[in-house]
Structure 1
């Protein structure tokens, strides 16, 4: 039989391991949401319904007399709605150029990049974006999607298959999937949907991003996509100065399109 002090230590150890397991079981999305709720003003938060689940968005209204519309910001699946990897700068600065910004919390990342998991993620993303598009299309002005990383790559399939209402313009930030055949399918989807697309890549980008550059250009020519611009910028999106360069490219592209 355990002595009282030994039993107490065992109980404390069991409780501590139980808490740790619960913490580990918590989703990345819920942890990100809790962190952002502690850091940001409550007025920025809004909740949307996607099927049976709710998800968080961050909204900032345009700070100009003339409202151009809404830019929807979709972070990479490993990031959150105020990601320091470019998303937060865009949601803060675009409001000074006439845009509302709506930044979306994406589903949790996948353990493996295979066809089955990608389909699951794509379906979850579709439900969220349907809710987002329903919200922003009821507002005045144009709708622009800025999508990053693997979230941006998967978004192309939704546009190619016409499962999602198309925006007026699309900006891809380092879009890729970490498997060669799937990454090639991203290039084909990008070339065959007709949404005006700015495809931003950086010199210190993921190898899958850089490996797809030439194929994307070839497929765009083959499928006669009229409005496509690919830009290779120096550095990475983790650098503040490079982020400002990316912002200028996006703002210049939107001005070129007439927004």
Structure 2
């Protein structure tokens, strides 16, 4: 081996070692964040809130569950936060998570998995959603709505497009809030869904508005009569506000008119 070849080999090994260390460090930080979130959630649990652990071993993750507080239960909402957010992220959906139980909806909030920093692994993410929906089934909930924010909106649509069976469509709905614009297949995923869909947009960035136009066009091409797109001005954080603001009222209103609970035959979620 020449001196130059030896130097190249050593350099490559060093780069691989740095890459492996960076990945291990990122995974370690993600695990630490998970444990910190769990400890914080347990410390803050109140008003009937339950911290639930889903999955097993290294794949275990936490969810925050609230039971509905009325005499007329409607169903359950699975909340998928944006990438890097925890299940009680204090922006945009935090109020919906805690308010919807007052109008008949159980809520279960989970975070997207972190795999190597901020990258998301498809199979891990879809299985996490399946486990959360299974938990809601086990709690007796079969009228289910996935409420996704940002990247969570994309994964909610993808899960329903890839894993929802035709005979389950009557029991599912999808609410997307400011769906991420970097996912080019989202319009096609929406076009494949024969369920009630709310596409709520408050981002006035030109790219976000163009992506919203594409989603609406896909719904029209596929004649999705139960697709609704709402464009509202952006809302500031309303963490711990006592009364529901416009966004929360819009989400609740759509649930009331499009997904009100009713009896019917259902199938449970299979991972």
Using the size of structure 2 for normalisation, the TM-score is: 0.74
Distance 1:225 1:82 in 2: 32
CA RMSD of aligned residues (A): 3.0
Change in Cα spacing, 1:228 to 1:133, as seen in structure 2 (3 Å) is same
Q: Is contact 2:146-2:174 (8 Å) kept?
A: yes
- The Cα offsets for residues 96-135 of structure 1, whole Å up to 9 and x where unpaired, read as 10111111132127656xxxx55x2x21111111111112
- Residue 169 of structure 1 pairs with residue 170 of structure 2: no
1:13 aligns with none
- Residue 31 of structure 1 pairs with residue 32 of structure 2: no
Using the size of structure 1 for normalisation, the TM-score is: 0.77
Distance 1:127 1:107 in 2: 10
Question: Where does structure 2 lack aligned partners over 5 or more consecutive residues?
Answer: 1-23, 261-271
2:230 aligns with 231
Equivalent position SS for 1:85 = coil
Task: Count how many residue pairs are aligned between Structure 1 and Structure 2.
Answer: 228
CA-CA distance at 1:89 after TM superposition:
0.6
Dislocated runs of 4+, deviation >6 Å: 21-24, 240-243
- The Cα offsets for residues 152-211 of structure 1, whole Å up to 9 and x where unpaired, read as 112322222236876521100111143xxxx3311111122112100001044x654322
Distance 1:225 1:135 in 2: 29
Equivalent position SS for 2:73 = coil
Larger RCO, structures 1/2 (Cα 8 Å, 6+ apart): 2
Worse overlay, 241-250 or 193-202: 241-250
Equivalent position SS for 1:155 = helix
Distance 1:163 1:258 in 2: 17
2:196 aligns with 196
Question: Where does structure 1 lack aligned partners over 5 or more consecutive residues?
Answer: 1-20
